[in-house]
Every structure is written in structure tokens, then in C-alpha cells.
């Protein structure tokens, strides 16, 4: 049986674009794959997917819309941390669609969420202090500490209730947001991400990490808020470290010529103001899609620096899968060639009527535990309040 109700929706230039009529939809694990249209599971070595995407040039024009969700645990394979990788870790959702159409926000039911599980300051402080000792020892310079929030909702809600509720207003739509519903899993992967892992245009690959956050309200003076954020030494240290890490990551793709073209600029999202930078590198015509993924995934802003040490430390502190959260979503179609970092993201599970949301932030030597915990709640509120208003 083929299930053609699988779809993706992308906010793009004030529109919502629905990708439908899937031609191919595969979930890839390390040693097997699942056809999401038929439900068939079969043996598959993930290196086959890698080799296929080594043959696809970054500057190739995709004739059919393709959406690739990279899950955070793919980082263990890229970094050769196989001891952390489980056989049932979902690594990639690779979806190709036959058609697309512009859609409008339709009628939707109000989303009411009931909190079931959330982090407490005591547990957060314990993990924070263990990680902070690693900073003091010089084993890493920054690490991204995150925690899950689990909610329940009424079982009469549909995927479109969540999508339309989140994106009912233009101002609420993340620049790199995406939504994909997988009927076989009964899950909606819903991201309102404002952060770019990469975008590629005219041979230039750009990445724009977010580091530094302040809460804001409609009555705040944006100039004053931005001045406060720019002058915050902790936020500046976060941004500069990750910008330098990403400059090195981009330089590893082909030639060591990546440049930081914007050191600081503001980004507004619901309830928050962020600090960003932009790093560019010019690439030749033979660079493959996998070559880029291999060198820059996962984004340094959601790991820390050095990346491999930060990934190992995060795994020991968090002791859970991040999954869709902190992975990336690639959109490939004609001139669209970009990838998000899946922050402000959730997984809506219709099999048990739960929504999993995760949030966190970068920890440096200048971090204070209570301030970091509070910032994490601001990031939760940015998504949950937008969804449920």
C-alpha cells in the first residue's frame, strides 16, 4: 500500500509552499532503511547513501523538490564516534516530491498543551557544573547544554492545526522553518528555525550562526536591546568562538579561504533578539553535497568548540537522543539550496498525543548557571507561546 499523504511545508517569501505527491521517501538508519510510502524495511548500509550524495554536485539543479532532514545523531557517524551510535538511531529522512503548490493558512483548532516533563534547576546545575569543569581544564572552550520539554495535547488535533497555528502570521515564521508529516511514524517534524547552517548561491556558500540572546517585548526599544546584547562580553565570546569554528569548517570543504563577512548583526524572532554573524566561502564546481555535509554538520552553534570534544561532552551530560532537534533540514529545488539548524523545533507524535520540544544554550567560562537556565526557558517560550496563542 502506498501512502501519498506524506508532505512537507516550507515558509518562503511570505508564502507557504506545500510539497506533495512524494516520488520517494526513505528513512535511513546505520544498517537498514524504511520505505516511508510502503512501510517496507530492508537492509541498507548507510555508506551507500553517503556515496550517492558524493556524486551529487552542490551546484546541481534539482528538477524535483527534495527535502533532507539530517538528525543530530548523524554527527556520531561523521565524527567516527560509533560507540555512541545505536542501530535504531534515525540518521536521515530523504524525501523527493512530484509537485508543489502555494497554500493559505486555513481554519485550525486552538492548540492547548499540558506540560508533562520539564527540566529543573537542580538537575541543570549538576550538568552545568560538570561541563564547566571541562572548560576550566581547557578540554573545550564552549559547549551547548540542552534539555527536553514534553507536552500532551488533545487527540482530536491534526498536523495542519499545528502548522497553521504556528505560522498564522508572517512575523511568526522562522526564516529557515519547515514542517514534514510522516504518516508511517504518525509524527510531524515541525521547525520554526531562524538559523542557517548554509545557503548556496552563485558559488558562494554562507553560514550564519546565532549566539547571544535577550528576551524582548513589543514595548522594548530595539536599539537599546541591541546595544545591551552587543556589549555583553559573554554573548560576544560565544559568537566569536563559534564564528571562528565555522570559518575553519567552511575552509575544510575545499580551500582555506573562508571569511567572516559580518561579525555581528541582529535577528528578531518572537519574544527574542539574537546576535548573528555571517561566514562565506567561494567553492569550485566539483564540490559535492556530501562534502559540505561532512565538513560542517552538525552546526557549531549547537555543539560548541572544539566540535568533537563538545559532542562527546554533550553526550555524557545529556544522556539522550537529540534526534530532529539540532539536526538540519536541507531544501533543494532549482535555485533553492539551503539548510537550517533545527532549533525552535518540535516533534509532534500523534500516536500518543505528545509534543517534544528541546532548548538550550552555549556555556562558556563567563556563563552563570541561573542566567543560562532562564535563557533556555525564553527559547522554549518563543516557540510554545507562538504555537498556542
283 and 203 in contact (C-beta within 8 Å)?
Answer: yes
Q: What is the pLDDT of residues 339-365, one digit of tens each?
A: 999 999 999 999 999 999 999 999 999
208 and 261 in contact (C-beta within 8 Å)?
Answer: no
Res. 3: pLDDT tops 90: no
Q: Which pLDDT score is estimated for 62?
A: 87
Q: What is the pLDDT of residues 69-94, one digit of tens each?
A: 999 999 999 999 999 999 999 999 99
Q: Which pLDDT score is estimated for 362?
A: 96
Q: What is the pLDDT of residues 142-199, one digit of tens each?
A: 999 999 999 999 989 999 999 999 999 999 999 999 999 999 999 999 999 999 999 9
The pair phi, psi for residue 101, each rounded to 5°, is -155, 150
Q: Which pLDDT score is estimated for 4?
A: 52
Q: What is the pLDDT of residues 260-292, one digit of tens each?
A: 999 999 999 999 999 999 999 999 999 999 999
37 and 3 in contact (C-beta within 8 Å)?
Answer: yes
Mean pLDDT across the stretch 2-26? 90
Task: Kindly state whether residue 268 falls inside one of the protein's structural domains.
Answer: yes
pTM above 0.95, yes or no: yes
Q: What is the pLDDT of residues 216-239, one digit of tens each?
A: 988 889 999 999 999 999 999 999
Q: Which pLDDT score is estimated for 2?
A: 45
Instruction: Report the C-alpha gap between 6 and 18 in whole angstroms.
Output: 11
Instruction: Report the C-alpha gap between 324 and 341 in whole angstroms.
Output: 10
Q: What is the CATH number of the domain that holds 83?
A: 3.60.120.10
Res. 65: pLDDT tops 90: yes
3-state SS string for the chain: CCCCCCEEEEEECCEEEEEEEEEEEEEECCCEEEECCCCCEEECCHHHHHHHHHCCECCCCCCCCEEEEECCCHHHHHCCCHHHCCCCCCCEEEEEEEEEEEECCCCCCCCCCEEEECCCHHHHHHHHHHHHHHHHCCCCCEEEEEEEEEEECCCCCCHHHHHHHHCCCHHHCCCCCEEEEECCCCEEEEECCCCEEEEEECCEEEEECEEEEEECCCCCCHHHHHHHHHCCHHHHHHHHHHHHHHHHHHHHHCCCCCEEEEEEEEEEECCEEEEEEEEEEECCCCCEHHHHHHHHCCCHHHCEECHHHHHHHHHHHHCCCCCCCCCEEEEEECCEEEEECCCCEEEEECCCCEEEEEEEEEECCCCCHHHHHHHHHHHHHHHHHHHHC
- Strand 204-208 and strand 272-282: the pairing is antiparallel
Task: Kindly state whether residue 2 falls inside one of the protein's structural domains.
Answer: no
Task: Kindly state whether residue 1 falls inside one of the protein's structural domains.
Answer: no
95 and 74 in contact (C-beta within 8 Å)?
Answer: no
CB count within 10 Å of CB 138 equals 7
Q: Which pLDDT score is estimated for 367?
A: 96
Task: Kindly state whether residue 74 falls inside one of the protein's structural domains.
Answer: yes
Work out how many domains the chain is built from and give that number: 1
Burial of 284 (0-12, 13-18, 19+ CB in 10 A): exposed
Instruction: Report the C-alpha gap between 193 and 199 in whole angstroms.
Output: 14
pLDDT-derived band of residue 255, with 50, 70 and 90 as boundaries? Answer: confident
> Which residue segment(s) compose the domain that 339 sits in?
7-388
Average pLDDT taken over every residue of the chain: 95
pLDDT-derived band of residue 215, with 50, 70 and 90 as boundaries? Answer: very high
Q: Which pLDDT score is estimated for 1?
A: 36
Amino acid at each position: 500500500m502506498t501512502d501519498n499523504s506524506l508532505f512537507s511545508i516550507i515558509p518562503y517569501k511570505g508564502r507557504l509552499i506545500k510539497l506533495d505527491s512524494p516520488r520517494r521517501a526513505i528513512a535511513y538508519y546505520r544498517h537498514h532503511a524504511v520505505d516511508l510510502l510502503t512501510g517496507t524495511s530492508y537492509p541498507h548500509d548507510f555508506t551507500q547513501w553517503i556515496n550517492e550524495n558524493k556524486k551529487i554536485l552542490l551546484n546541481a539543479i534539482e528538477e524535483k523538490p527534495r527535502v533532507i532532514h539530517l538528525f543530530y545523531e548523524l554527527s556520531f557517524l561523521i565524527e567516527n564516534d560509533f560507540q555512541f551510535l545505536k542501530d535504531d538511531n534515525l540518521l536521515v529522512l530523504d524525501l523527493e516530491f512530484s509537485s508543489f503548490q502555494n497554500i493559505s493558512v486555513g481554519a485550525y483548532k486552538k492548540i492547548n498543551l499540558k506540560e508533562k516533563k520539564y527540566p529543573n534547576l537542580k538537575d541543570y546545575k549538576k550538568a552545568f557544573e560538570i561541563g564547566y569543569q571541562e572548560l576550566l581544564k581547557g578540554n573545550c572552550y564552549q559547549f551547548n547544554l540542552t534539555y527536553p520539554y514534553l507536552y500532551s495535547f488533545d487527540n482530536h488535533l491534526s498536523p495542519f492545526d499545528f502548522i497553521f497555528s504556528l505560522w498564522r502570521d508572517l512575523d511568526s515564521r522562522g526564516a529557515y522553518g519547515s514542517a514534514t508529516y510522516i504518516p508511517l511514524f504518525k509524527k510531524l517534524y515541525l521547525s520554526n528555525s531562524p538559523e542557517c547552517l548554509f545557503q548556496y548561491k552563485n558559488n558562494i556558500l554562507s553560514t550564519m550562526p546565532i549566539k547571544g540572546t535577550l528576551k524582548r517585548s513589543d514595548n522594548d526599544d530595539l536599539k537599546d536591546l541591541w546595544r545591551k546584547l552587543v556589549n555583553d562580553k559573554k554573548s560576544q565570546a560565544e559568537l566569536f568562538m563559534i564564528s571562528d569554528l565555522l570559518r575553519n569548517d567552511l575552509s575544510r570543504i575545499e580551500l582555506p579561504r573562508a571569511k567572516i563577512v559580518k561579525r555581528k548583526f541582529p535577528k528578531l524572532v518572537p519574544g527574542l533578539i539574537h546576535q548573528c554573524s555571517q561566514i562565506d566561502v567561494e567553492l569550485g564546481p566539483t564540490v559535492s553535497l556530501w562534502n559540505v555535509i561532512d565538513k560542517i554538520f552538525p552546526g557549531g552553534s549547537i555543539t560548541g568548540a572544539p566540535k568533537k570534544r563538545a559532542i562527546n561532552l554533550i553526550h555524557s551530560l545529556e544522556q539522550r537522543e537529540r534526534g530532529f532537534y539540532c539536526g538540519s533540514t536541507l531544501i533543494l529545488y532549482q535555485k533553492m539550496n539551503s539548510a537550517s539548524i533545527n532549533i525552535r523545533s518540535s516533534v509532534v507524535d500523534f500516536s500518543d498525543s505528545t509534543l517534544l520540544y528541546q532548548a538550550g544554550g552555549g556555556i562558556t567560562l563567563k556563563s552563570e548557571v541561573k542566567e543560562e537556565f532562564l535563557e533556555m526557558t525564553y527559547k522554549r517560550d518563543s516557540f510554545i507561546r507562538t504555537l498556542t496563542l
